[in-house]
Structure 1
Amino acid sequence: MNTNNRQQIALISVHGDPAVDIGGEEAGGQNVYVRQVGEALAQLGWEVDMFTRKTDVNQPNIVQHQDHCRTIRISAGPETFIPRQEIFEHCDRVVEGIIKFARQEGREYSLLHTNYWLSAWVGLELQRRLSLPIVHTYHSLGAVKYKSVQEPPQTATRRLEIEKAILENANCIVATSPQEEENLRSLVSSRGNIEIIPCGTNINHFGSISYQQAREKLGFSPKENIIFYIGRFDPRKGIETLVRAVANSKLRGQEPLRLIIGGAYRPGQSDGEEKERISKIVEELGLSDITEFPGRIADENLPTYFAAADVCVVPSHYEPFGLVPIEAMASGTPVVGSAVGGLNFTVVSEETGLLVPPKDNAAFTEAIDRILSDPQWRNQLGENARKRMEEKFSWEGVTSQLSDLYSRIINQRV
């Protein structure tokens, strides 16, 4: 691609700001995905604008990440945090903001890549008004999610309609796993184009420190069995299952255990309330002396925590893909995860870790104990995991596939 005449593309992530610190309220895997893809696409020769909604009056309107890649924050509704289920009513302002910005800057986008159903609606409106091709990534699928939710939100019907419309009208859907493609076909629509391109991870960042070095750096004893969770404090993430599984471990009292539950939380917000609920369960089960809540772990420290762990546990009730397991595996750490969604694709049970039924405390106990009881096998799982990540899940490889897809779609239109 001629770098002097770059094609301009817009990545749209209405509620997932690519420029924020990861780990806070509404800041997780989608934010990482959009940011990493945007920056890697710029390296491949694209001109990348990433659009999101402004959530703080003090935030800069434009964040330049590197040459040819920036985040643009659109003012849509109050410039404050709003839960994602309340954002839809402001999406028309996002559409107007993107059109206005493009006109002011003289941008002529060749393609839109939308992320999550809110952005899908924005993309469909832009497609209608500007005749632009769309690629879409779901990140979470309402048809699957609402199966495990007792009271779906008021936006559920609208979300399902938009998720069907984007599948049938986008130029291509990027499914991040074969499981997601199956769900789209069986639960959403038989129409529409789908290609499987997984999420990626920075295999140079994760895997940059050894098990021994990581433990020394964090001050952990070589004899400790370290069980690690990192992610949002949200009931759907299944942290309670992990805590109860550790409480029932046969190794408890025989060998030193340490449970680390990492992730940002804000008192008074939903994640802060969930953290308090988990803390009470930890206390009730007598695990306070072996459990720590380090809060948000900075990106530069995360590889050290992953590498120092004997096992990383991902007990989600639902996980369309999940970046945490591939970050753990890139660090050479086996994963015990729920056999749901994308985890069935990324984690090879008995080879890079173990998969068990979600919400099954006893099954998680047994899986964690199996790995901790056999250090040699644990090391072999970790080596297999690292190799799998190198071969299939680097951001460079993922973004190269996306770049090829964009080029094919743009050339077909020409």
Structure 2
Amino acid sequence: MADSKRLYIVLISVHGLIRGQNLELGRDADTGGQTKYVVELAQVLSQHPDVERVDLFTRLVNDHKVSPDYAEPVEMLNDRARIIRINCGPRRYLRKEVLWPYLDVFADELLRHVRQSGRMPDVIHSHYADAGYVGCRVAGWLGVPLIHTGHSLGRVKRQRMLDNGSKPEAIEEQYHFKTRIEAEETTLASAAVVIASTHQEVDDQYRVYDNYSPHRMAVIPPGVDTKRFYPIKILDQPPPIFQDLSRFLNQPYKPFILCLSRPVPRKNVSALVKVYGEDRELQERANLVLILGNRTDISKMEASPRQVFGELFSLIDRYDLYGRVAYPKAHSSDDVPDLYRLAAQQQGIFINPALTEPFGLTLIEAAACGLPVLATADGGPRDILGNCDNGLLFDPLDPKDIRRALHAAFADQVQWQTWAANGLKGIETHYSWKSHVENYLAKIETLAQKSVISILSPRRTEPEIWATPASAAPPSVSTSRNRLLDLDRLLISDIDNTLIGDKDALIALMEEIAKHPGMGFGVATGRHIESTLMVLEEWGVPLPDVLITSVGSEIHYGPQLVPDTSWQQHINYRWQPQRVQQVMNNMAGIVLQPKVNQRRHKISYIVDPAAAPEIDQVLRYLRQQKLQVRGIFSHEQFLDILPLRASKGDALRYFALKWGYPLKKLLVAGDSGNDEQMLTGNTLAVVVGNHSPELEKLRDRSDIYFADGHYSWGILEALRHYNF
């Protein structure tokens, strides 16, 4: 590939603790195989000759309870790869389930960083649902392809927990599955390619999603770092971790049943301990070694790992397993390959008893060290053992089946040797980073989608938006310099019940704006352009510098009302208006609004709540028909169907990016749930005093000002509050 075409790849992995060295794998539920995978992916991609640079974006954590490494804004992995940490929410470390309210800020900060970097990414690759939420927004604003890897899936996890007897209300409160699944559905609708680790993930797990599109999915299993994970026939001397294990074991040289995982209920370690505790013969044959992350004070851990350790210690005590089970408090990432090699030298076995396992990185690490494996008959282990033939699968819910597999592993030394040799061959053939990167880059190079925005200039230059004016514009279009090029900040307001509603307040606001020639004025409204112009004239509002209309599906620029045709092209992505109307024609209680309210990229309906299905059901049905759309429901009776990329918030960010306005130079004002996406993120925001109840959930946000004044009085109050 020519130097001019070498790739710039952006990876996003929001949660957990991510750094380049000594990853704290197993520290908690969020710092597992995903963190290891994304760091290694960044490193190996950057070493390929077709790649110019890789940036891995994650959350900056400035918390005395964790290493100061995670508060460094930039960490170089090598001369072409780095970790970039973004401020997002509180400074302290947070579990992924409570990060959702802060992801709009993460997306805006990522957009700002990309603009300042002076280089458009060729692709954005998101990891897990939270990064998917960020990735599909930023990729949408930039118009670049989105690649996504789910790692684990909310619908699958939720169903498995329900099958195990969990209460729906309890797991929703803890895991926020509704928010997670909605983010996954949107990401699947937006992604150009979804990378899965196994065929079972594509065929079974993704199939339960409305936006399941197998033709956009590719199975590319992760690789293993064979410079770290390799076999040794005889260890010259026991590794350092052996001393820690020996403190627990009466006979430390017996074979190991090695289990290495995070301390979360899904990993099902308690089932393994029960099987071992109830089988005296198994205890005589082997020691049980449990490597479950690092811990200091269990009482200060989160509820989930605290529950796991409490149950494990209770079982060890119940079965009197002291001297037979090792469960060290800490280990380093360098100890992990030593553990596999130590277990292999003693002709032990590696076991993964998880209830669900999307891939199972530890399985290929163990195999690369010559250690046979036993694993749950789910997801990744099925593919791995199918490719490597280096162990046995079992049903993790059946103790008898776990016991059967363990006895078989120690029954035949010749079989053990065959499994060990097969694993080494299988890793070389199927799970090398070299093959992973080649397949990955082949997928990227087939993506033909191109950006429609130029963001390379750090300051505003005149965008190429001049085109045929809208029907409401005067017949002649001036080519004189646009005022937007000279402004340094803008007030952008919703119209109904925000800008208008009090004549005196509106006059006072317009007079204030007129005093500041550097401040521009724009509107963002659900009204179409003709209706917008009519109501502005009726209330005596001067023509705005920018008009975002039809719920964000149209953008016009004053004074000649020139339409942004690039925005129209941008949101046309996967838009099928005729099919939308065909599907919606069959909906009871939902009828089209008058023709004047229909636009090229907006289909508007009137909803009879007594006769129509719930709006969530309507939108899900559209997804099931493979229609990637966004639904905006307002005032309990109006439903607008838009392209996936269109909304007032998306149009606002597109405008800011195109014209070079930092989001902190935009003050946005709104009053209803319609405005939520516009209000959240890095913009300065005000909710006027007469707002609708649905915005109360934003009151705790420090970056959103709730005014006492109603209508334009509230906007004036915000101008003073922000010293705008």
User: Per the shorter chain, which TM-score range?
Assistant: over 0.9
> Which residue in the other structure is 2:308 paired with?
274
Q: Deviations over 1:294-340 (max 9, x none)?
A: 23432222112112221011000111111011111111111111111
Mapped partners of 1:253, 1:194: distance in 2: 45
> Which residue in the other structure is 1:40 paired with?
44
Which moved further from structure 2: 17-26 or 76-85? Answer: 17-26
Once the two structures are TM-superposed, the CA of residue 184 in structure 1 deviates from its matched residue by 4.5
Determine which structure has greater relative contact order: mean sequence separation of CA pairs < 8 Å that are 6+ residues apart, divided by chain length: 1
Partner-residue secondary structure (3-state), 2:89: coil
Q: Deviations over 1:155-201 (max 9, x none)?
A: 21222222122222210000110000012552013436111101221
- Alignment partner of 1:15 is 2:38: no
> Which residue in the other structure is 2:27 paired with?
24
Once the two structures are TM-superposed, the CA of residue 245 in structure 1 deviates from its matched residue by 1.7
Mapped partners of 2:388, 2:141: distance in 1: 50
Out of 174, 193, 196, the residue aligned to residue 172 of structure 1 is 193
Out of 314, 335, 338, the residue aligned to residue 301 of structure 1 is 335
Out of 183, 202, 206, the residue aligned to residue 204 of structure 2 is 183
Mapped partners of 2:252, 2:438: distance in 1: 40
> Which residue in the other structure is 1:94 paired with?
106
- Alignment partner of 1:52 is 2:58: yes
RMSD: 2.2
Mapped partners of 2:418, 2:427: distance in 1: 14
Once the two structures are TM-superposed, the CA of residue 124 in structure 1 deviates from its matched residue by 1.2
Q: Deviations over 1:116-139 (max 9, x none)?
A: 010111011112211121000000
Out of 65, 78, 86, the residue aligned to residue 77 of structure 2 is 65
> Which residue in the other structure is 2:524 paired with?
none
Out of 228, 231, 245, the residue aligned to residue 261 of structure 2 is 231
Out of 153, 156, 162, the residue aligned to residue 172 of structure 2 is 153
> Which residue in the other structure is 1:387 paired with?
425
Partner-residue secondary structure (3-state), 1:388: helix
Mapped partners of 1:56, 1:264: distance in 2: 22
Normalised by the size of structure 1, how large is the TM-score? 0.93
> Which residue in the other structure is 1:200 paired with?
223
8 Å contact from structure 2 (residues 104, 134) kept in 1: yes
Partner-residue secondary structure (3-state), 2:10: strand
Mapped partners of 2:306, 2:85: distance in 1: 26
Mapped partners of 2:372, 2:440: distance in 1: 28
User: Cα–Cα, structure 1 residues 264 and 402, in superposed 2: closer, same or farther, change >3 Å?
Assistant: same
The amino acid that maps onto 1:293 is Y
8 Å contact from structure 1 (residues 18, 31) kept in 2: yes
Aligned residues: 411
> Which residue in the other structure is 2:402 paired with?
364
Runs of 5+ consecutive residues of structure 2 not aligned to the other structure: 452-724
Once the two structures are TM-superposed, the CA of residue 278 in structure 1 deviates from its matched residue by 1.0
Out of 438, 445, 464, the residue aligned to residue 407 of structure 1 is 445
User: Cα–Cα, structure 1 residues 342 and 252, in superposed 2: closer, same or farther, change >3 Å?
Assistant: closer
Q: Deviations over 1:332-363 (max 9, x none)?
A: 11111111111111123993111111122221
The amino acid that maps onto 2:44 is A
The amino acid that maps onto 2:319 is L
> Which residue in the other structure is 2:414 paired with?
376
Mapped partners of 2:404, 2:349: distance in 1: 13
Q: Deviations over 1:90-119 (max 9, x none)?
A: 100110111121223223211100000101
> Which residue in the other structure is 1:284 paired with?
318
User: Cα–Cα, structure 1 residues 65 and 350, in superposed 2: closer, same or farther, change >3 Å?
Assistant: closer
Partner-residue secondary structure (3-state), 1:200: coil
> Which residue in the other structure is 2:281 paired with?
251
User: Cα–Cα, structure 1 residues 184 and 259, in superposed 2: closer, same or farther, change >3 Å?
Assistant: closer
Partner-residue secondary structure (3-state), 1:202: coil
Mapped partners of 2:283, 2:92: distance in 1: 47
User: Cα–Cα, structure 1 residues 299 and 209, in superposed 2: closer, same or farther, change >3 Å?
Assistant: farther
The amino acid that maps onto 1:332 is G
8 Å contact from structure 2 (residues 394, 402) kept in 1: yes
- Alignment partner of 1:355 is 2:393: yes
> Which structure has the larger Rg?
2
Mapped partners of 1:222, 1:56: distance in 2: 40
8 Å contact from structure 1 (residues 177, 342) kept in 2: yes
Mapped partners of 1:22, 1:67: distance in 2: 25
Which moved further from structure 2: 362-371 or 259-268? Answer: 259-268
Which moved further from structure 2: 90-99 or 14-23? Answer: 14-23
Identity of aligned residues (%): 25
Which moved further from structure 2: 191-200 or 25-34? Answer: 191-200
Partner-residue secondary structure (3-state), 1:336: strand
